[in-house]
């Protein structure tokens, strides 16, 4: 359940990016999930699907990359991504987790389509302009 706020934040960023880049439609979103974040790809995908309905990001494909937590050796200070054990590959001493690593959920890249060409004025706002100054009796 805790993916929802992250998905909404993601969608916010995607929509902002889409506007800035004048994408009519977002086709691919590449993101990184920290292995310790507890986020599940399927859940993110599910929330995203319903939250993005009606936005430029609707139907966009999500691509996930797992971001490993980083460890630091207590013996030699060597830093390495967590894979299996907690032992330093350099000297064999135990390593400890570097706080804050492997917990994020970030967007790496957004791919969009349909760069707006000559649509500076959208018909909706042009139509509204005529209705200004209307009297209310």
Q: Which is nearer to Zn ion, 64 or 78 (CB)?
A: 78
Least separation in angstroms between CB 83 and Zn ion? 15
Q: Which is nearer to Zn ion, 52 or 101 (CB)?
A: 101
Q: Does 86 contact Zn ion by CB under 5 A? A: no
Helix/strand number for the chain, H first, E second: 3, 6
For residue 34, CA distances in Å to 11, 105, 116 come to 18, 6, 34
Contact 32, 115 (CB under 8 A): no
What is the C-alpha separation between 63 and 107, in angstroms, rounded?
A: 10
Q: Which is nearer to Zn ion, 64 or 80 (CB)?
A: 80
x/- map, 33-72, Zn ion, by CB under 5 A: ----------------------------------------
Contact 41, 33 (CB under 8 A): yes
User: Residue numbers of the site for Zn ion (CB under 5 A)?
Assistant: 73, 75-76, 78, 88, 90-91, 93
């Amino acid at each position: 359940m805790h993916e929802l706020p992250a998905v909404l934040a993601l969608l916010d960023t995607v929509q902002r990016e889409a506007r800035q880049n004048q994408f009519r439609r977002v086709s691919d979103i590449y993101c990184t999930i920290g292995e310790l974040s507890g986020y599940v790809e399927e859940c993110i995908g599910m929330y995203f699907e319903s939250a993005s309905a009606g936005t430029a990001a609707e139907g966009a494909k999500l691509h996930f990359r797992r971001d490993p937590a980083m460890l630091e050796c207590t013996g030699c200070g060597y830093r390495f991504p967590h894979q299996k054990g907690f032992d330093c590959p350099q000297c064999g001493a135990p390593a400890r987790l570097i706080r804050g690593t492997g917990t994020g959920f970030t967007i790496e890249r957004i791919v969009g389509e349909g760069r707006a060409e000559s649509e500076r004025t959208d018909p909706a706002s042009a139509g509204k302009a005529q209705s200004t100054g209307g009297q209310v009796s």
